[in-house]
A and B are shown apart, each in its own frame.
Chain A
Amino acid sequence: MAENKDIILSVKDLEVKFKVRDRVLTAIRNISMDFEKGQVVAIVGESGSGKSVFTKTFTGMLDSNGKVTNGEIWFEGQNLCEIKKESDWEKIRGRKIATVFQDPMTSLNPVRTIGYQISEVIIKHQGKSKEEAKKEAISLMERVGIYNAAQRYDEYPFMYSGGMRQRIVIAIALACRPEILICDEPTTALDVTIQAQIIHLIKDLAKEYGFTTIYITHDLGVVANVADRVAVMYAGQIIEYGLVEEIFYDPKHPYTWGLLSSLPQLGEKGNELFAIRGTPPSLFEKVIGDAFAPRSDYAMQIDFEEEPPFFEVSPTHFAKTWLLDPRAPKVEAPATIRNLHDKMVRLTAKGGIYGEH
């Protein structure tokens, strides 16, 4: 991976295992990745590919049956994998690395006021008094777009709509001025118009507060709109990593091709939507070779025998596929995504949902 001086979080050879009814599941298989300060990194992949688990290791929020079995996560000169005590995690969680979860309807405590839930964090992490915390909470509420914030301070979550609750969740996440904001599918539970608003809110706030954003999503539309860099995950590994343009317009891994081809926006009237055939491999068993090989139309003999290394496409673009080996036959990306740029431009020009507002 590219060496960069402004790396805020660095993951090396991370491996996470879960114990599920006496069997061991390897959810993350040797991921190494650097996150640059101030960048927006999107992690995409299908359900179960390990996106959430990967980011949960940054805040020590793995479920009790999960464990980091190998690797290092370096953040501010500290290896997060070595943290054992909950009290040490509490200094990282919220204060340094904040998380916004998928469902705003259930993320807030139903019987505590909105104001309480925001100012609680300010009091805890910034050590402010109740009055100061309230003042700051109200200004945060205004910043995330809540009208009449002072009046609505004492209201309960059930009095807020889904979009407003997600704004509050974001306000809580920002209350401690974190270095990194992890957005775990922040818009999945919202309707499209609200989705766009929330995405832009996070984007604006990232610029204003200067935090690094890690997006977890399977919505490639969101990715195209907000991300600087994209990491594609499959079966517990990052299989392609690069700038957003590189991933969208010059993808190299067959899985990324499949993923992009599956964009519903690219479907043509009368034709069936594209879908990647088969199912992901079972993570209970050891994966040999390229995990995507059984589902790939471009699989070679070597894909079933040996795990491919990362091949450098450009200084910012890497892909983990044998197709990039000089000895491999030349293959072209499928026709559907070859001129993705033009298609996307046409889509957004028509007033598509991801157009700038």
Chain B
Amino acid sequence: MKKYILIRILKSIVSIFMVVSIVLAMIYTMIPTTKVFEQDPAFRRLSGSDAIFYRYNKLDELGYLDNMTMDDMCRESSDDYAACMISDSEENLRVLQVYEDKGYTIERLVKYQNPDDTSEATVDYIAHYDYNAFQIIFNFWTNLVRVDNSGFVNNTYGKKLSEPVEERYYFGTDQNGVTGLMCSGCRYKYQIYFDGNFPFIHQNIIKLNFGNSFPTNAGVPTMEIISRGQGEQASTEQTFPSGITQTSPYIQTTCEFMPTPDQASLRLFPDQYADCISAYTSPSMIMTSYIFGIASLILVYVIALPFGISMAQHKGKLIDKFGVVVINLLISLPSLALIFFLKYIGSFFGMPDKFPQLGFNDIKSYILPIIILALLSLPSLMMWIRRYMVDQSNADYVKFAKAKGLSQKEIFHKHILKNAIIPIVNGIPGSVILCISGAFITESVFAIPGMGKMLPDSIKVANNNMVITITFILTTLSVLSVLLGDLLMTVVDPRIQLSAKGGD
């Protein structure tokens, strides 16, 4: 069993690796780079060599290529920096030749001081090395897991700091007076800390790094976009490390080291751990989708289980016929039609037709979308429960249970249900976990700020890092749900024993 799970986990990791790598290769080789800048307002304002500089700089950030400016090249490969920086000088051309030999493409940029006067111009060079698909995939996986260490600040920002930061781990208290493991010299000040949010114990030691979002929300890490709160900033009165107490939205446990803080930050955070995430009044995208998903899922099971069971129990009777009509109706109606129809009905009961009208804090905002989401997945679950129950009720053990003198009700509840529920149980972890992926149509219709729209929107604007982040999350969770489903099955079905050996 243990060996089996280990092998399954290894296989899962391989599957995740394969899927994400294929998506990476597709995105980076098949989507033209011009598409990336189409939606970028900053790029559209630039022209000439500025645009080219900006473009290569961004492509470097996005992982397409390795971009070297003349400054970078001279610092790295020349002993005579000053001579190297003079365009078309001997040293300058020598260094360029070095990079050309390494496989870099050299571009000569001519910048005119005055667009009308072509005589006065400065020449600059830029070199870039385009990664192939394998290098992109390799870079992604090697940069994915980021482990924090106490030498981080000195190693990364050493040159820019006035004096090295002390490197040590210690136990301290956060703004709420709760003890946590803290660090000086790490990227994050708080390494392990506790608070009132799920899952109550948090860590900053190992982080997944998917890069920054671009061109929408440029510069913000993709994980932060989908997991941070939305809406207005929620300020609370808190005491900062400097001893100053003031109202601020900062969550101090999330603070990252800031190499060049401004005066305002330094006033609050003398230790330069000033790059903090703010608290918001509304839940994050993932959380929003999850609230709707879980609520509708519970509703679906609460309705479908008893309904499906009694349909099977009274097969061919009135309740069964009624159920079949309901199932047929819900399945045959296009989901869009159902959504708009229920939205229309809901408006008579004073339900808002857009989520932001009443917002997160009004229960009315949730009712209609949850009912719609539930009705969309209700028929198939009901149908399968009924089907499994009916199949089982023809089994021999049911005949024998009847011959034993058990009543119809006892047979259904003590014998058939436990058999029929096995295939249903297998799918439960998946339904629970994958709630976070959101529901595209329903969320769009009600303008719910959830995950559903995130993937299509990111694909539309070529937000590659976001697409990969979501792909990675969904792939991992899907693989995980299948594994959990199988493990759960061994609990309800004693015949299933996960074993590493082949054969049975």
Q: Interface segment, B71-79, B140-148, B372-380, B488-496?
A: B488-496
Contacts of B407 in A (CB 8 A): 86-87, 90
- With A61-B403, A94-B405 known as contacts, the answer to whether A111 contacts B396 (CB < 8 A) is no
Alpha-carbon distance A228/B180, docked complex (angstroms): 85
Partner pick for B405 among A90, A108, A169, CB 8 A cutoff: A90
Contacts of A158 in B (CB 8 A): 494-495
Residue of B nearest to A59 (CB): B403
Q: Are A111 and B401 in contact (CB under 8 A)?
A: no
Q: How far is the CB of B401 from chain A (nearest CB, A)?
A: 7
Contacts of B397 in A (CB 8 A): 106-110
Contacts of B396 in A (CB 8 A): 101, 103, 106-107
Alpha-carbon distance A86/B405, docked complex (angstroms): 10
Q: Are A110 and B404 in contact (CB under 8 A)?
A: no
Q: Indicate whether B22 reaches chain A with its CB closer than 8 angstroms.
A: no
Main secondary structure, interface of B, reads helix
Q: Are A94 and B404 in contact (CB under 8 A)?
A: yes
- With A101-B396, A158-B495 known as contacts, the answer to whether A93 contacts B419 (CB < 8 A) is no
Contacts of B414 in A (CB 8 A): 112, 120
Alpha-carbon distance A156/B494, docked complex (angstroms): 7
Q: Are B402 and A61 in contact (CB under 8 A)?
A: yes
Alpha-carbon distance A121/B493, docked complex (angstroms): 22
Alpha-carbon distance A101/B173, docked complex (angstroms): 71
Contacts of A91 in B (CB 8 A): 405
Alpha-carbon distance A241/B67, docked complex (angstroms): 102
Q: Indicate whether B408 reaches chain A with its CB closer than 8 angstroms.
A: yes
Q: Are A112 and B403 in contact (CB under 8 A)?
A: no
Q: Are A107 and B419 in contact (CB under 8 A)?
A: no
Q: Indicate whether A198 reaches chain B with its CB closer than 8 angstroms.
A: no
Alpha-carbon distance A61/B402, docked complex (angstroms): 8
Q: Indicate whether B11 reaches chain A with its CB closer than 8 angstroms.
A: no
Q: How far is the CB of A204 from chain B (nearest CB, A)?
A: 22
Q: Which of B399-426 contact A (CB under 8 A)?
A: 399-408, 410, 414-415, 418-419, 422
Q: How far is the CB of A159 from chain B (nearest CB, A)?
A: 9
- With A101-B399, A156-B494, A169-B400 known as contacts, the answer to whether A110 contacts B405 (CB < 8 A) is no
Q: Are A125 and B405 in contact (CB under 8 A)?
A: yes
Residue of A nearest to B315 (CB): A64
Contacts of B408 in A (CB 8 A): 86
Q: Indicate whether B395 reaches chain A with its CB closer than 8 angstroms.
A: yes
- With A101-B399, A106-B397, A156-B494 known as contacts, the answer to whether A112 contacts B418 (CB < 8 A) is yes
Interface residue count for B (Cβ, 8 Å)?
A: 23
Contacts of B405 in A (CB 8 A): 90-95, 121, 124-125, 176
Q: Are A120 and B400 in contact (CB under 8 A)?
A: no
Contact string against B for A residues 79-96, beta-carbon threshold 8 Å, 1 for contact and 0 otherwise? 000000011001111110
Q: Are B400 and A110 in contact (CB under 8 A)?
A: no
Contacts of B410 in A (CB 8 A): 124
Alpha-carbon distance A109/B418, docked complex (angstroms): 9
Q: Are A107 and B402 in contact (CB under 8 A)?
A: no
Contacts of A103 in B (CB 8 A): 396
Q: Are B402 and A93 in contact (CB under 8 A)?
A: yes
Q: Are A109 and B401 in contact (CB under 8 A)?
A: yes
Q: Are B495 and A111 in contact (CB under 8 A)?
A: yes
Contacts of B403 in A (CB 8 A): 59, 61, 93-94, 98-99, 101
Alpha-carbon distance A98/B415, docked complex (angstroms): 19
Contacts of B492 in A (CB 8 A): 111
Alpha-carbon distance A98/B405, docked complex (angstroms): 8
Contacts of B399 in A (CB 8 A): 61, 101, 107
Q: Indicate whether A172 reaches chain B with its CB closer than 8 angstroms.
A: yes
Alpha-carbon distance A110/B400, docked complex (angstroms): 13
Alpha-carbon distance A156/B396, docked complex (angstroms): 16
Q: How far is the CB of A244 from chain B (nearest CB, A)?
A: 26
- With A101-B399, A158-B494 known as contacts, the answer to whether A109 contacts B404 (CB < 8 A) is no
Residue of A nearest to B397 (CB): A109
Residue of A nearest to B495 (CB): A158
Residue of A nearest to B409 (CB): A86
Alpha-carbon distance A204/B93, docked complex (angstroms): 107
Q: How far is the CB of B486 from chain A (nearest CB, A)?
A: 16
Contacts of A99 in B (CB 8 A): 400, 403
Residue of B nearest to A91 (CB): B405
Q: Which of B422-447 contact A (CB under 8 A)?
A: 422
Q: Are A110 and B419 in contact (CB under 8 A)?
A: yes
Q: Which of A122-149 contact B (CB under 8 A)?
A: 124-125
Alpha-carbon distance A94/B406, docked complex (angstroms): 8
Residue of B nearest to A56 (CB): B403
Alpha-carbon distance A111/B493, docked complex (angstroms): 6
Contacts of A121 in B (CB 8 A): 404-406
Contacts of A124 in B (CB 8 A): 404-406, 410
Contacts of A95 in B (CB 8 A): 405
Contacts of A176 in B (CB 8 A): 405
Q: Are B406 and A90 in contact (CB under 8 A)?
A: yes
Alpha-carbon distance A103/B422, docked complex (angstroms): 23
Alpha-carbon distance A106/B399, docked complex (angstroms): 10
Q: Which of A40-87 contact B (CB under 8 A)?
A: 59, 61, 86-87
B residues apposed to A, CB below 8 Å: 395-397, 399-408, 410, 414-415, 418-419, 422, 492-495
A residues apposed to B, CB below 8 Å: 59, 61, 86-87, 90-95, 98-99, 101, 103, 106-112, 120-121, 124-125, 156, 158, 169, 172-173, 176
Listed by A's residue number, 12 A-B pairs whose Cβ atoms lie within 8 Å are: A59-B403, A61-B399, A61-B402, A90-B406, A94-B403, A94-B406, A101-B396, A101-B403, A109-B415, A109-B418, A110-B419, A110-B495
